[in-house]
Amino acid sequence: MIFVRAPIYFVTASTYNRRDILAIRKIHRSFVRFGEEGPDHGAWIGAYVLMPDHFHAFVRVDAEQVTLSTWMKSLKNSLSRALRLAGVEAPHWQKTFFDHILRSGESYSQKWEYVRENPVRAGLVKKWEEWPFRGEIFPLEFRRASA
C-alpha cells in the first residue's frame, strides 16, 4: 500500500506490569484478524512483532476515518477480548502507548531491522525468522508527497 499523505507510525504497547501474555497463538491470530479487517476502519498494519509482554507495529491510519489513539484503543480492546477468552484475567494493558512518525523509507527499514531482532535479543530464538509471532499484514511503502 502506498499512501502519500498518511504517515507511517511506529507503535509500541506494553502489557500491564509487563505480563507475558501476548506470545500465544490465539492472541496472534486475533491480532492478524484485527489487522486484516483494518482497511474497513481506515487502518493498515504493516510489519509487526508480538513479544511476550509488548508489541511493535507499523501502521497507517486514514485520519478522515480514525485517529491513531482510537485505533490503538480498538486494537487493545480486541486483544483483551481474546485474552479473556483464553482465560487471562484483566487488566491486560498499560494505559499509554508509544508512537513515532517515520520520516523516511530508510527509518522504516532501520526500525524494522531493529524490531525484528527483539526475539533474538530476548533469547527466545536464535534467528528472527524462527519467531512465530511476527509478520506483515499489508506492505507499507514510504513516499514523499510531491510538491
- pLDDT recorded at residue 109: 84
- pLDDT recorded at residue 1: 46
pLDDT in tens, the chain (147 residues): 444 467 899 999 999 999 999 999 999 999 999 999 999 989 999 999 999 999 999 999 988 889 999 999 999 999 999 999 999 999 999 999 999 998 877 788 888 998 999 999 999 999 999 999 999 999 987 665 544
Question: Is the residue at 116 inside a domain?
Answer: yes
The number of distinct structural domains making up the chain is: 1
Burial of residue 87 (number of CB atoms within 10 Å: 0-12, 13-18, 19+) = exposed
- pLDDT recorded at residue 59: 96
- pLDDT recorded at residue 108: 83
Q: Tell me the three state secondary structure of residue 123.
A: coil
Question: Is the residue at 112 inside a domain?
Answer: yes
- pLDDT recorded at residue 91: 96
Q: What is the domain extent for residue 24?
A: 2-142
Q: How far apart are CA 58 and CA 44, in angstroms?
A: 8
Question: Is the residue at 147 inside a domain?
Answer: no
- pLDDT recorded at residue 121: 95
Cell of 48: 509487526
Question: Is the residue at 42 inside a domain?
Answer: yes
- pLDDT recorded at residue 2: 44
CATH of the domain at 81: 3.30.70.1290
R_g of the chain computed on alpha carbons: 15
Query: If you count them, how many residues does the chain have?
Result: 147
Q: How far apart are CA 77 and CA 15, in angstroms?
A: 12
- pLDDT recorded at residue 147: 40
**If we measure between CA atoms, which residue out of 137, 26, 140 comes closest to residue 78?**
26
* Structure letter (DSSP) for residue 8: P
